[in-house]
Structure 1
Amino acid sequence: MRYFGTVARGVRMPIIRQGDDLATIVAETIFQAFKYEKIEVKDKDIIALTESIVARAEGNYASSKAIIKDVQAKVGKGPVGFVFPILSRNRMYGIVKAVASAVDELIIQLSYPSDEVGNALISEELLFDYEINPNTQTFEEAEFRNLFGEELLHPITKQDYPSLYKSCGDNVKIIFSNDPQAILKYTNKVIAADVHSRHITKARLKQGGAELVLGLDDILTKSIGGSGYHPEYGLLGSNYASEDVLKLFPRSSKQVAEKIQALFKKKTNRQVEVLVFGDGAFKDPVAKIWELADPVVAAAYTSGLGGTPHENKLKLLADDDFKHLDGEELEEKLKEHIKSSSKSAPNALGTTPRQISDLLGSLSDLMAGSGDKGTPVIYIQGYFDNYADE
Structure 2
Amino acid sequence: MERMVGTVVRGLRAPIIREGDDLESIVVDTVLKASEAEGFKLHDKDVVAITEAVVARAQGNYATTEQLALDVKTKLGGETIGVIFPILSRNRFAICLRGIAKGAKKVVLMLSYPSDEVGNHLIDIDKLDEKGIDPYTDVLTQEQFETLFGQSKHTFTGMDYVNYYKGLIEEEGAEAEVIFSNNPRTILSYTKRVLTCDIHTRARTKRLLKEAGGEIILGMDDLLTSSVEGSGYNTNYGILGSNKSTETTIKLFPNDCTTFVNGIQKKLLEATGKIIEVMVYGDGAFKDPVGKIWELADPVVSPGYTSGLEGTPNELKLKYLADNDFAHLSGEELKKAISECIKKKDNDLKESMLSQGTTPRRLTDLIGSLCDLTSGSGDKGTPIVYIQGYFDNYTK
Q: Into which bin does the TM-score normalised by the smaller protein fall?
A: over 0.9
What residue in structure 2 maps to residue 383 of structure 1? 390
Residues 20, 100 of structure 1: alpha-carbon distance in 2 compared, 3 angstrom cutoff:
same
1:287 offset after TM fit, Å? 0.6
Partners in 1 of 2:255 and 2:233 — Cα distance? 8
Deviations 1:252-288 (A, max 9, x none): 3212211110111001100000010000000011111
Runs of 4+ in structure 1 displaced over 6 angstroms?
A: none
- Aligned pairs (5 A) from 1:3-82: 3-82=4-83
- Cα offset for 1:52? 0.3
Q: Does residue 98 of structure 1 match 2:99?
A: yes
For residues 112-133 of structure 1, the C-alpha deviation after alignment (integer angstroms, 9 at most, x for no partner) is 0000000010111011111111
Q: Which whole-Å deviations, capped at 9, do the CAs of 1:51-101 have from their partners, x for residues lacking one?
A: 000000000000011101111110114310001000001011111111111
Conservation of the 8 A alpha-carbon contact between 2:286 and 2:295:
yes
Amino acid of the structure 2 residue aligned with 1:51: E
Contact kept, 8 Å, 1:54 with 1:252, in 2: the verdict is no
Q: Aligned pair 1:315/2:319, yes or no?
A: yes
**Counterpart mapping for 1:82-93 below 5 A:** 82-93=83-94
* Alpha-carbon distance in 2 for matches of 1:77, 1:7: 52
Map of 1:167 onto structure 2: 167
Q: Secondary structure, in 3 states, of the residue corresponding to 2:336?
A: helix
Query: Which residue type is aligned with residue 143 of structure 1?
Result: Q
Task: Give the CA RMSD over aligned residues.
Answer: 0.9
What's the offset of the Cα at 1:344? 5.2
Measure, in 1, the Cα distance between the counterparts of 2:259 and 2:58.
Answer: 13
Structure 1 gaps, min length 5: none
Q: Distance in 2 between matches of 1:92 and 1:37?
A: 40
What code does the residue aligned with 1:284 have?
A: D
Q: Secondary structure at the match of 1:312?
A: coil
Aligned position for 1:134: 135
1:223-302 to 2 correspondence within 5 Å? 223-302=227-306
Q: Match of 2:303, SS?
A: strand
Partner of 1:364: 371
Structure 2 counterpart of 1:36, which letter? A
Find 2:358's aligned residue among 339, 351, 361: 351
> Alpha-carbon deviation of 1:104?
1.5
* 1:283 and 1:290 in contact (8 A); partners too: yes
2:188 aligned counterpart, secondary structure = helix
2:276 maps to a residue whose letter is V
> AA paired with 1:351?
T
Contact residue 78 and residue 103 of structure 2 kept, 8 A: no
Aligned partners of 1:19 and 1:98: how far apart in 2?
A: 25
* Aligned-partner Cα distance in 1 for 2:369–2:341: 29
CA shift at 1:313, angstroms?
Answer: 0.3
Q: Does the aligned pair in 1 maintain the 2:72–2:78 contact within 8 Å?
A: no
User: What is the one-letter code of the residue matched to 2:195?
Assistant: I
Contact 1:110 1:178 in 2 (8 A): yes
Count of aligned positions = 388
What's the counterpart of residue 149 of structure 2? 148
Q: Is contact 2:242–2:251 with CA below 8 Å preserved after alignment?
A: yes
Matched to 1:375, the amino acid is T
Q: What is the CA deviation profile of residues 131-175 of structure 1, one whole-angstrom value per residue up to 9, with x for unaligned ones?
A: 1110000011111111111x2111111111111111121511110
Aligned to 1:215: 219
Do the aligned partners of 1:20 and 1:57 also contact (CA within 8 Å) in 2?
yes
User: Any gaps of 5 or more consecutive residues in structure 2?
Assistant: none
Matching residue's letter, 1:132: I
Deviations 1:24-44 (A, max 9, x none): 001011111111222111000
TM (norm. structure 1) is: 0.98
Q: Percent same amino acid at aligned positions?
A: 50
Residue type at the aligned position of 2:390: Y
Task: Give the secondary-structure state (helix, strand or coil) at the position aligned to 2:328.
Answer: coil
* Residues 245-254 or 69-78, more deviating: 69-78
